[in-house]
Structure 1
Amino acid sequence: MILRTLSLPIMVLFCVGNLYAAEPGLLTDKNISSVEERRILVSIEDEYAKLDVQESKIKTREMQLKTLEAEVDKKIAAMQQLRNELVILLDRKEETEGERIAELSKIYEKMNPQKAATLIKELDDQLAVDLLLGIKKKTAGKILDNLDAETATELSKAFTEIPVKNNSGT
């Protein structure tokens, strides 16, 4: 039924193409009886040549894409490794800073409260709070008592706030 609806040139093209694909040497000058068949055969050969070129280009492009994909995968793995190393370094840094702040807190704890208050007033608020957190409450109270009211209030407010760590890397 489908064959009835196809036009004669398309059927010839289909049949000749199948013959050529099955056995390329089958279609020779001896087997071609008309100029029309010759024209169709040349057209089919041109199409096969174009398809071969296209297939070759596609295969080349696929190889390039696979190579690029492998490179991207390597770079992602390297970046992940660097990220992991950075996280480890940041953890070590925080740990070391915590140890140093604890040591510094002990030093401030042993100081005269008035002298400690003078020094703490000049520090960054977060560092001052961290130091006060490491000092005994009674000594921290004496140090805050020796600060001016505004600084003592700011540090007291900061003292009550709980910092939130941002794990997104920003």
Structure 2
Amino acid sequence: MFNIFDKNAIDLASKDDTVFNFAEPNLAQAAIEIDDKAHEYDKNQNTEELNKIIQSIKNDSENIVKDEKIYDRNIKDLPNVGCISYIKREFSPTEVDILKSLKQRREELENREQELLFKENTIQLTKNQIIERLSTLQLLKDELQVIIRQYDTKEGEKNAKLVRIYESMKPKEAARIFEEMQLNVLLEVVEKMRETRLAPILASMEPFKAKEITVALVNRRKSIHN
């Protein structure tokens, strides 16, 4: 602790590289009085008188020193654990270790907070990218559905024309063409034909082919209803 009655301590307190300071003006005033009396002593060379003066000031200051707030000389070397304006004593090694441990823990928590913030930003960025990708896919899906509807419409119109053509043909002529067509293409036509027009054509076809068309047509209609 700083002792205002120690001449070396008083000299040390005046140096720029220390953090010693008087917290209250009455201590500072006491030191000034000591200094003034010391100069008086230098003039009078009266040791006994000087000792009486110093003892008198010391006795008057003892009650003040108990409550005075003075800066610790090592405060600038302590870890930053908050706002410390003054302390009344030096920290013990155990206390210094505790403060250093608290400082280390605080730094770890700050680093952890930064890591969590980075991960949160990364997750949010990824989420935004996924949302953007889904929006793009939805647009493509809508465009594809439009194209499919347009294709189905054109195919329906084309099949309707074929149906009208085959219905207007003679049964034997239509039967000869049907026997050469692939089954999947043929089904698209015959299922749209009127039964009164289709029956004579099937009767004019080879029995095996006519049976194949009939079975496929029945199964196709069952799958649609199911």
TM-score range, shorter chain: 0.7 to 0.9
**Where does 1:35-46 land on structure 2 (aligned, <5 Å)?**
35-46=93-104
Aligned-residue offset at 1:50 = 1.1
Alpha carbons of structure 1 residues 25 and 118: separation in structure 2 relative to 1, 3 Å: same
**Where does 1:19-168 land on structure 2 (aligned, <5 Å)?**
20=81, 24-26=82-84, 32-161=90-219, 162=221, 163-164=223-224
SS in 1 for 2:224: coil
Instruction: Please tell me whether the aligned partners of residues 126 and 158 of structure 1 are also in contact (alpha carbons under 8 angstroms).
Output: no
Instruction: Please tell me whether the aligned partners of residues 117 and 147 of structure 1 are also in contact (alpha carbons under 8 angstroms).
Output: yes
Aligned-residue offset at 1:148 = 0.7
TM superposition score normalised by structure 1: 0.74
Bigger relative contact order, structure 1 or 2 (CA pairs below 8 A, ≥6 apart): 1
In 2, distance between residues paired with 1:31 and 1:115? 119
Bigger share in helix: 1
Alpha carbons of structure 1 residues 27 and 40: separation in structure 2 relative to 1, 3 Å: farther
Alpha carbons of structure 1 residues 65 and 27: separation in structure 2 relative to 1, 3 Å: farther
Aligned-residue offset at 1:28 = 7.8
Give the share of equivalent positions with the same residue, in percent.
22
What 5-or-longer segments of structure 1 have no aligned partner? 1-18, 166-170
In 2, distance between residues paired with 1:27 and 1:147? 110
Alignment size in residue pairs: 144
In 2, distance between residues paired with 1:27 and 1:106? 102
Asked which structure has the greater CA Rg, the reply is 2
Letter in 2 for 1:129: L
What 5-or-longer segments of structure 2 have no aligned partner? 1-79
Aligned-residue offset at 1:121 = 1.6
